Amino acid sequence: MTPFASRTSEAQHMGKSNRHRAAFTLIELLVVIGIIAILMGILIPSLAAARRQANALKCASNMRQAYQGCLMHVQEHAGYLPLAGSLNIDATNWIGSETYANAFGDSRRKRYTYASQKAQQVHVVVPLPAAIAQYLGWRNLSFDDWYALDKELNNSNGVWQLFMCPQAENFEREGANTANTVGAGQGMMMVLQTNGSNNSWWATYSDFAMNEGILGFDYHREYQTRRLAGKFSYVQRPAETMLFCDAKLSKMPPNTPSNVQCPWITMAPALSSTGPVTMADVLAQNAQVEPYRAEIDTRRHKGRMNVCFADGHVEFITIGTGELGRVYLLAK
């Protein structure tokens, strides 16, 4: 009996010893917590970087889709892109539903897309987002009623979503404006001017700036090399000329009139500019570009930006005078 009792006692002792060794000491627990903290410190920045990269790719994808809409507009409108920015027309040629288009040299309304302002009995050129929406899934828009169209474009399901960069958080996207007023975070996309005086204007949500050098219009002959009126064949060096790009809203100029309610989201060569104008000029905000237009956003993609060129390709470019010096608003 004694040997059996001895073995039983020994087994019980070993079991207690094993159970004792299975528990964590405080030092071991602290070591494990430290290792987890180190792993989290390594992984979280990697996940954040992966998210930024995914957002940059989505941003570029949105630009490509917008470009496809522009290209379809070119094919169906006698070689013309939609318009954006400042459109300065001759006041003597805009009255009346048919003669309005004459001010754009478009009496048959074949070059651009128009919407009807019934009260004034005129057909108004619509800005780029409205013109390409019909090619990209936004059907049955109210081109017979400008004010209804404005609501459709800026409501919570409007085409403005295509001009968003998911990395930007400039405004509350779910609060999209459905009234005929300017919502918080909207940028000026188009202003119709009659001999330099504002006649009507249109704002929308956008994280992308339009190139007013290509898409703007001015009836003065001396400025027509600075505003190409959307004529696609006039674009020099399309593989190096920006059509739209990442940007943030401009600052409001001092002494802004009360009827101007939002900043610009276009980039424009100065009408007085000569020769090539580049994105480096925009970065420097020098005399080659119009002041108080959209600004380059250095923070959105950590010192880089997406640029959609006039030939349709998109590049992720480092923001600096070297890289931006080869991206043109106007190539000559």
Of the two residues 314 and 97, the one the predictor is more confident about is: 314
Of the two residues 33 and 165, the one the predictor is more confident about is: 165
Residue reference for tokens 């295509």: 162
* Spatial contact of 288 and 269, defined as CB atoms under 8 Å apart: yes
Of the two residues 20 and 292, the one the predictor is more confident about is: 292
- pLDDT-based confidence at 174, cuts 50/70/90? very low
Written as one letter, the residue type at 197 is S
User: What is the distance between the alpha carbons of residues 18 and 231, in angstroms, rounded to a whole number?
Assistant: 84
- pLDDT-based confidence at 291, cuts 50/70/90? very high
Strands (E) across 141-235 are located at 187-194, 197-204, 208-211, 217-218
User: What is the distance between the alpha carbons of residues 218 and 230, in angstroms, rounded to a whole number?
Assistant: 11
pLDDT at 5 over 80: no
User: What is the distance between the alpha carbons of residues 94 and 199, in angstroms, rounded to a whole number?
Assistant: 11
Q: What is the pLDDT of residue 12?
A: 55
To the nearest whole percent, how much of the chain has pLDDT over 70? 82
Strands (E) across the chain are located at 85-89, 114-117, 122-125, 187-194, 197-204, 208-211, 217-218, 242-246, 266-267, 277-278, 304-309, 314-318, 328-330
Please compute, for residue 100, the number of CA atoms within 13 A of its CA located in the half-sphere on the CB side: 22
The SS3 call for residue 192 is strand
What's the rounded mean pLDDT across residues 40-55? Answer: 75
Task: Give residue-wise pLDDT tens across range 84-134.
Answer: 999 999 877 665 555 677 888 898 899 999 998 877 677 889 989 999 999
* Spatial contact of 171 and 205, defined as CB atoms under 8 Å apart: yes
**Range of 178-187, 190-199, 216-225 with top mean pLDDT:** 216-225
pLDDT at 11 over 90: no
Task: Give residue-wise pLDDT tens across range 21-41.
Answer: 566 687 877 888 888 888 777
Residue reference for tokens 């960069």: 165
User: What is the distance between the alpha carbons of residues 94 and 92, in angstroms, rounded to a whole number?
Assistant: 6
* Spatial contact of 290 and 88, defined as CB atoms under 8 Å apart: no
